[in-house]
Amino acid sequence: MSAPITNLQAAQRDAIMNRPAVNGFPHLAETLRRAGVRTNTWWLPAMQSLYETDYGPVLDQGVPLIDGVAEVPAFDRTALVTALRADQAGQTSFREFAAAAWRAGVLRYVVDLENRTCTYFGLHDQTYMEHYAAVEPSGGAPTS
């Protein structure tokens, strides 16, 4: 296995084992950032993810959310924010969050780990961006 894949998978394992159930995403993101991941782009509903890392790019193809042909939902910021808050509260799995984001019209989203932002994209340049907290990956208090 290549160095980029080995490094990414080790960071993902560490992050998943140590992240809290509530507000776990910032801990996952910080663990990945410290492992050299700079951006992470997800394409919905394909569940395809590109990690741009210091070691090289890594593509991960997950199980798609849909099979066959589907209409693209309209971008619904309110539904997206509802999905985000449910995920942040630990009420959904990642796959459930991704499905809710897709139903809210999200075609892709980009996590910028350096600037601690997630930007969600729908059709026709529709976007929604959130900042997430800086944290210590071990579950400590927020940092600057």
Does residue 141 form part of some domain?
no
pLDDT of residue 140: 42
**Cβ atoms within 10 Å of 72's Cβ, excluding its own:** 11
Give the pLDDT band of residue 144 (cuts 50, 70, 90). very low
Domain count along the chain? 1
pLDDT of residue 143: 42
Give the pLDDT band of residue 71 (cuts 50, 70, 90). very high
Average pLDDT over residues 121-133: 96
Residues 51, 19: Cα–Cα separation, whole Å: 19
Q: Show the CA angle centred on residue 130, arms to residues 144 and 123, nearest 5°.
A: 155
pLDDT for 72 beyond 70: yes
- Residues 23, 144: contact at Cβ < 8 Å? no
| Maximal CA-CA distance, the chain | 45
Count Cβ atoms within 10 A of the Cβ of residue 32 and give its class: 0-12 exposed, 13-18 middle, 19 or more buried: buried
pLDDT of residue 138: 61
Average pLDDT over residues 68-76: 97
pLDDT of residue 59: 98
Does residue 85 form part of some domain?
yes
Does residue 64 form part of some domain?
yes
Torsion angle in degrees (nearest 10) through CA of 61, 64, 68, 73: -120
Does residue 136 form part of some domain?
no
Does residue 71 form part of some domain?
yes
Quick: pLDDT tens for 100-124: 999 999 999 999 999 999 999 999 9
Does residue 142 form part of some domain?
no
Buried b (16+ CB within 10 A) or exposed e, 99-125: bbbbbbbbbbbbbbbeebebebbbeee
Among 22, 62, 50, smallest CA distance to 113 is for 50
Quick: pLDDT tens for 4-60: 999 999 999 998 888 888 888 899 999 999 999 999 999 999 999 999 999 999 999
pLDDT for 141 beyond 90: no
pLDDT of residue 18: 84
pTM: 0.90
- Domain limits for position 39: 3-131
Q: Which amino acid is at 98?
A: A
pLDDT for 142 beyond 80: no
Does residue 143 form part of some domain?
no
Q: The domain that contains 56 carries what CATH number?
A: 3.30.1810.10
Does residue 34 form part of some domain?
yes
